[in-house]
Chains A and B, each alone.
Chain A
Amino acid sequence: AQSVTQLGSHVSVSEGALVLLRCNYSSSVPPYLFWYVQYPNQGLQLLLKYTSAATLVKGINGFEAEFKKSETSFHLTKPSAHMSDAAEYFCAVSGTSYDKVIFGPGTSLSVIP
Chain B
Amino acid sequence: GAGVSQSPRYKVTKRGQDVALRCDPISGHVSLYWYRQALGQGPEFLTYFNYEAQQDKSGLPNDRFSAERPEGSISTLTIQRTEQRDSAMYRCASSSRDRSSGANVLTFGAGSRLTVL
Contact = CB atoms under 8 A, between A and B. Distances in A.
Interface of A: 6, 32, 34, 36, 42-46, 49, 51-53, 90, 94, 97-106, 108
A94 B59 CA distance: 15
Interface string B15-48: 0000000000000000101010000111111001
B100 A99 contact: no
A97 B42 contact: no
Nearest to B56: A100
Contacts of A49: 98, 101, 103, 105
Nearest to A90: B42
Contact of B104 (A44, A98, A104, A108): A98
Interface in B64-117: 91, 93, 95, 97-98, 100-111
B104 A94 contact: yes
Given A44-B43, A49-B103, 6 more contacts: A6-B42, A43-B108, A51-B101, A90-B43, A97-B104, A98-B50
B113 to A, nearest CB: 11
Q: Which 4 A-B pairs have the closest CB atoms?
A: A51-B101, A97-B102, A103-B42, A43-B108
Given A52-B101, A97-B102, A103-B35, A43 B109 contact: yes
B104 A105 contact: no
Given A90-B43, A98-B31, A100-B55, A44 B103 contact: no
7 contacts: A34-B105, A43-B108, A44-B91, A51-B98, A53-B101, A98-B31, A108-B40
B50 A100 contact: no
A101 B55 contact: no
Contacts of B111: 43
B109 A100 contact: no
B42 A105 contact: yes
Contacts of A53: 100-101
A102 B110 CA distance: 19
Contact of A44 (B45, B100, B102, B108): B108
